[in-house]
Amino acid sequence: MGLPVRAALLREVGGPFVIDDVELDAPREGELRVRVAASGICHTDLTYRAGAGRFPLPAVLGHEGAGVVEAVGEGVTGFQPGDAVVLSYFSCRGCRTCAGGHFPYCERGYAGNFSGSRPDGSFPMRWRGEPVRSSFFHQSSFATHVLAHQHNAVKVDASVPLERIAPLGCGFQTGAGAVLEAFRLQRGQQLAVFGAGSVGLAAIMAARVAGASRI
């Protein structure tokens, strides 16, 4: 029997998130069990709720989680129970694309982020004895506890309020990454940002850090 946890279940396309009890597997090789302290709600979650991603249901979504490691599976290095972590997207770190440092374009990225299961096809969550589609971005952070992979967890200072940094896992890194990694904005350059949601605001903050002369 798995660990009883609470999760926000999506049972039908466009339906409400319903809080219910689910069972969570023990962490397998390379996995961490994380007690979720906070989770952002990204537009991608709402898009998949609306059916655009054709994610199988019932499901547990959420991919901007932050929390505390409670247990680790075999082969985990660099993490131990009690560590504060921010969760992001999965990458295998073993394919040709990952070897080139392009983790967002991992050749196993779909299986690890969008299939509704672990990359090997197994399901970490069950509801009323039946599999629940989860492992969304290999986390499904709309739950009290999740299984994440060590490759999509980042250790953070335990003194930092986790509810403030949960969105770093997607929205903030998207906006800041566009400016610092894709555009590679240089000091003195100018930047126009259209839209001031979390992604746009992250881009603005990154541009300020980079020394933009005008935003």
**Within 10 A of 51 (CB to CB), how many other CB atoms are there?**
12
Judgement on whether residues 11 and 105 belong to the same structural domain of the protein:
yes
Q: What is the model's pLDDT at position 53? A: 79
What is the model's pTM? 0.91
In tens digits, the chain (215 residues) has pLDDT values of 789 999 999 999 999 999 999 999 999 999 999 999 999 999 999 999 999 878 889 999 999 999 999 999 999 999 999 999 999 999 999 999 999 999 999 999 999 999 999 999 999 999 999 999 999 999 999 999 999 999 999 999 999 999 999 999 998 999 999 999 999 999 999 999 999 888 999 999 999 999 999 99
Sequential DSSP letters for 122-185: --SEEETTEEEB--GGGT--SBSEEEEEGGGEEEE-TTS-HHHHGGGGTHHHHHHHIIIIII-P
Query: Range of 132's domain?
Result: 3-168
Judgement on whether residues 28 and 84 belong to the same structural domain of the protein:
yes
Domain tally for the chain?
A: 2
Q: What is the model's pLDDT at position 55? A: 85
Distance CA 112, CA 119 (A): 5
Judgement on whether residues 175 and 162 belong to the same structural domain of the protein:
no
The CATH code of the domain that includes 113 is 3.90.180.10
Q: Say if 215 falls within a structural domain.
A: no
Q: What is the model's pLDDT at position 170? A: 92
Distance CA 136, CA 138 (A): 5
Q: What is the model's pLDDT at position 198? A: 87
